[in-house]
């Protein structure tokens, strides 16, 4: 993959099997320590793994006094040398340098990431540099692993990956929390006092950034059977919490000939696959989270993988909450939406693990969810997990033409705008179901990171779209 056969990643250089090889590594200095015996230790990281490679730079190097002894955190270097077994604890190998070439200096006075630890709040101001820290390197590798597991899980289970539009005219969740997309000159219109007319807009009608690819995914599920869409979604909800972003990534599988119980089994197997892969593939990063961010996280996730998820209806959950002696901020009432504090009580205190809540009142769920025989609830399912609350939301979809039409009228949807969606019920309708997993909440769950702003490279939240 490179014209230079000697160049290896630090991940590879750290492996015992590399001992004896002459290699080149390229990376950024984390620390330098000079020994009285006339040589220096340079800790190098290139992002390929959590751990650093210890470079032993002998005083005989041409540029030892001129350059090596001036290396500081952040400098970029190319080192050629021989990998030896390391006598030091916690590392199998070290690199005995034959040459150290400096590519870029890094001014220690002005570089913000000095050895001192910074708060995550402070690091958000340096979102362009925070990827260089231990925590954000580890988060990034785990996030990548989760994305890989998502594709692998669905591909192995015969799902097709489809791409649904980002610009859309439909409000899937019906919550009206959409960002508008327009090419109209709104400033000019305001100045001239003329009204905004969306017929003159780019698409000749109002359009928005999508809140979910579900409705479009349904069109492909009712043709190809099993599909998933995975992309960015946007919500203009004014929630300044540690679990909400205005731009987040969601993976949404949609399956034909599927009912609620099938959907729950799929969600459980899917989530367990993600956890298993992270525990197995990201062991160094997970050990870091265990030691520095969320003590107990490895054992907790291991236990989750081994045990079946609990199931509970919304109605049963309300009874549990009413029977608890907690003083909640929001009142508990059948028919009211569960708040984060309720969800966390159920999963953290009552169940002590993941719980799938089902059969929510139809009045608090979107129009597309299948109405149950009782006429009051819908075939909805939310997966709640400790520390995060809702991680997955899904349902069986309403496949009956007449019931869907009625629900759409109740929701006051524009029937013309959704005619294509109704067609799926007019032509060969089938029971089908699906769900959405918020990628960032999954990363939070696996890593134990408290704030969702710290598990996405560049968070978008109310009042903040820097970088
Ligand atoms: O429960 P939600 O709103 O469900 C849907 O969008 C369905 N259309 C999914 C489907 O059935 N295909 O969102 C799904 C998940 C939530 O459980 C949560 O993990 C995440 O998306 N999510 C958010 N993550 C970060 N910031 C936000 N503002 C989020 N809103 C939802
Ligand atoms: Mg939801």
Give residue-wise pLDDT tens across range 13-62: 999 999 999 999 999 999 999 999 999 999 999 999 999 999 999 999 99
The residue with tokens 């990534």 is 249
Is ligand 1 within 6 A of the CB of residue 390? yes
Whose Cα sits closest to atom 6 in ligand 1? Answer: 212
Domain locations in the chain as residue ranges: 10-104, 131-454
Is ligand 1 within 6 A of the CB of residue 245? yes
Element (H, E) at 155: helix 134-156
Phi-psi group of 412: left, alpha or beta (phi > 0 → left; psi -120 to 50 → alpha; rest → beta): left
Is ligand 1 within 6 A of the CB of residue 173? yes
pLDDT at 174: 84
Rounded distance between C-alpha atoms, residue 283 and residue 297, angstroms:
12
Q: Residue 113, Cα to own-chain centre: how many angstroms?
A: 25
Tell me the CA–centroid distance for residue 268 and ligand 2, in Å: 16
- Tokens (6 digits) for 301: 């996730």
Element (H, E) at 432: strand 432-438
Query: Does pTM surpass 0.85?
Result: yes
Terminal CA-to-CA distance of the chain, rounded, Å?
31
Is ligand 1 within 6 A of the CB of residue 282? no
Is ligand 1 within 6 A of the CB of residue 218? no
Tell me the CA–centroid distance for residue 432 and ligand 1, in Å: 18
For residue 98, with 0-12 CB atoms within 10 Å meaning exposed, 13-18 middle and 19 or more buried, which class applies?
middle
Give me the DSSP letters along 195-229.
Answer: PP-GGGSTTSS-EEE-S-SHHHHHHHHHHHSEEEE
pLDDT at 115: 67
Please give the number of the atom of ligand 1 that sits closest to the Cα of 253. 12
The two domains 10-104 and 131-454 share their CATH topology (first three levels equal): no
Whose Cα sits closest to atom 4 in ligand 1? Answer: 393
pLDDT at 4: 84
Please give the number of the atom of ligand 1 that sits closest to the Cα of 436. 9
Domain at 131-454: CATH architecture? 2-Layer Sandwich (3.30)
Please give the number of the atom of ligand 1 that sits closest to the Cα of 217. 12
Q: How many helices (H) and strands (E) does the chain have?
A: 13, 16
Tell me the CA–centroid distance for residue 364 and ligand 1, in Å: 15
Low-confidence ranges of the chain (pLDDT < 70): 1, 115
Whose Cα sits closest to atom 9 in ligand 1? Answer: 436
Topology, domain 10-104: OB fold (Dihydrolipoamide Acetyltransferase, E2P) (2.40.50)
pLDDT at 54: 98
Residues contacting residue 286 through CB under 8 Å, at least 6 positions apart: 142, 278, 279, 297, 298, 446
pLDDT at 173: 86
Q: Mind listing the pLDDT tens digit for each residue in 305-340? A: 999 999 999 999 999 999 999 999 999 999 999 999
């Amino acid at each position: 993959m490179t014209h230079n056969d000697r160049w290896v990643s630090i991940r590879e250089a750290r492996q015992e099997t590399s001992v004896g090889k002459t290699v080149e590594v390229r990376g950024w200095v984390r620390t330098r320590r000079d020994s009285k015996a006339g040589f220096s230790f340079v800790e190098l990281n290139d992002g390929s793994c959590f751990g650093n490679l210890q470079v032993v730079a002998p005083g005989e190097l041409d540029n030892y006094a001129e350059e090596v002894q001036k290396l500081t955190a952040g400098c970029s270097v190319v080192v050629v040398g021989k990998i030896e077994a390391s006598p030091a604890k916690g590392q199998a190998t070290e690199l005995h340098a034959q040459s150290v070439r400096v590519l870029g200096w890094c001014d220690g006075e002005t570089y913000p990431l000095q050895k001192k630890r910074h708060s995550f709040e402070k690091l958000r101001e340096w979102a362009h540099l925070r990827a260089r820290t231990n925590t954000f390197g580890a988060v990034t590798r785990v996030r990548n692993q989760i994305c890989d597991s998502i594709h692998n899980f669905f591909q192995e289970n015969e799902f097709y990956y489809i791409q649904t539009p980002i610009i859309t005219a439909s409000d899937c969740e019906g919550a009206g929390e959409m960002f508008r997309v327009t090419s109209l000159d709104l400033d000019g219109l305001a100045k001239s006092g003329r009204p905004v007319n969306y017929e003159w807009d780019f698409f000749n009608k109002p359009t928005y950034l999508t809140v979910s690819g579900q409705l479009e995914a349904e069109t492909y599920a009712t043709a190809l059977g099993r599909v998933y869409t995975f992309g960015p979604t946007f919500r203009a909800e004014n929630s300044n919490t540690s679990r909400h972003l205005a731009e987040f990534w969601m993976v949404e599988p949609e399956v034909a000939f599927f009912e609620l119980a099938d959907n729950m089994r799929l969600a459980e197997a899917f989530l367990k696959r993600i956890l298993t892969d992270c525990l197995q593939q990201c062991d160094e990063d997970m050990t870091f989270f265990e030691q520095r961010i969320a003590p107990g996280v490895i054992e907790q996730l291991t236990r989750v993988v081994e045990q079946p998820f609990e199931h509970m209806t919304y109605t049963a959950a309300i009874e549990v909450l009413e029977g608890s002696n907690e003083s909640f901020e929001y009142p508990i009432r059948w028919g009211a939406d569960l708040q984060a504090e309720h969800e966390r009580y159920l999963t953290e205190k009552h169940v002590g693990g993941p719980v799938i809540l089902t059969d929510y009142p139809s009045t608090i769920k979107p129009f597309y969810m299948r109405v149950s025989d009782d006429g009051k609830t819908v075939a909805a399912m939310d997966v709640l997990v400790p520390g995060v609350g809702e991680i997955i939301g899904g349902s069986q979809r309403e496949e009956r033409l007449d019931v869907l039409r009625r629900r759409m009228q109740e929701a006051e949807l524009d029937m013309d705008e959704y005619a294509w969606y109704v067609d799926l019920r007019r032509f060969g309708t089938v029971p089908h179901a699906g769900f959405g997993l918020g990628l960032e909440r999954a990363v939070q769950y696996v890593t134990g990171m408290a704030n969702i702003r710290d598990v996405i490279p560049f968070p978008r939240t109310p009042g903040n779209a820097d970088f």
